[in-house]
Amino acid sequence: MKRRALIPWGGWAGHRPEEGANIVAQILSDDGFDVTLTPDYAAFAEAATFDLVVPVITNDQIDTALVDSLTRAVRAGTGLAGYHGGLAASFHSAVRFHYLCGLHWVGHPGDMAARYRVTVTRPHDPVMQGIADFDYHSEQYYLLHDPSVEILATTTFSGEYDPASRGVTMPVVIKRHFGAGRIFYTALGHVPEELSHPQARLILRRGLTWAARDTEQDA
């Protein structure tokens, strides 16, 4: 039986959410998922009927009841995953949503001018296995994160664009357990073209599979 994935998309148009959602849908379809794409946030109410939910949403608003439905679903085993603005920058004012996700975007010094190194901190994790440290050119996300997250890759800020960030090491790829559910996030992928970056795409693909309910990968 195919696993089912829900991809709600929307929010800030600059991240081109519909295009990004379609790329995620293709990745999941290639890996055998039955995928539902929708711009209707009401679909979060049905999260428990899916094995994986991947919001491709930056900012915007969401009803508290929908966040509560998603939270109950993840506690019961539905996976939750996101990239770049999805999760970290979705629904800024929804405190319960970020409690669930375990992280929150607060800035990106240098904007798109940033060139930085992604350092793999858990090379034996199934998501990162075989991936060496690599360079990346995009927004370098500054995140607030829950102490319970498992950090799989990091970046260190040079302070070139904001001296206050000099020497700060920040997560780039994380995973988290929340009740019976799994949560995965990668900060890579500002625009759809970045999802063709080989390491970024592989990390996302593996992370989606890891987060999904009944995955065969190791925890």
Give pLDDT tens digits for 168-203: 999 999 999 999 999 999 999 999 999 999 999 999
Question: Is 93 among the domain residues?
Answer: yes
Q: Are strands 56-58 and 4-11 parallel, antiparallel or unpaired?
A: parallel
Identify the domain containing residue 40 by its residue range.
4-211
Question: Is 34 among the domain residues?
Answer: yes
pLDDT band of 216, cuts 50, 70, 90: low
Question: Is 218 among the domain residues?
Answer: no
Q: Are strands 169-178 and 181-186 parallel, antiparallel or unpaired?
A: antiparallel
User: What's 164's domain CATH number?
Assistant: 3.40.50.880
Instruction: Read off the pLDDT of each residue in 10-23 and give the average, rounded to a whole number.
Output: 98
- Please report the pLDDT score of residue 116 as a whole number: 97
Angle between helices 198-211 and 17-30 (to 10 degrees): 70
Concatenate the DSSP letters of all residues of 77-101 into one string: T-EEEEETTTTTTBSTT-HHHHHHH
Q: pLDDT tens digits for 99-154?
A: 999 999 999 999 999 999 999 999 999 999 999 999 999 999 999 999 999 999 99
Question: Is 127 among the domain residues?
Answer: yes
Q: pLDDT tens digits for 55-104?
A: 999 999 999 999 999 999 999 999 999 999 999 999 999 999 999 999 99
- Please report the pLDDT score of residue 214 as a whole number: 79
| 5, amino acid identity | A
Question: Is 216 among the domain residues?
Answer: no
pLDDT band of 166, cuts 50, 70, 90: very high
Integer Cα distance of 151 and 140 in angstroms: 16
- Please report the pLDDT score of residue 1 as a whole number: 83
Question: Is 217 among the domain residues?
Answer: no
Instruction: Read off the pLDDT of each residue in 146-169 and give the average, rounded to a whole number.
Output: 97
Q: pLDDT tens digits for 26-39?
A: 999 999 999 999 99
Q: What are phi and psi of 38, to 5 degrees?
A: -160, 145
> How many residues in total does the chain contain?
219
| pTM, rounded to two decimals | 0.96
**Residue 219: pLDDT over 90:** no
**Residue 15: pLDDT over 90:** yes
Q: How many domains does the chain have?
A: 1
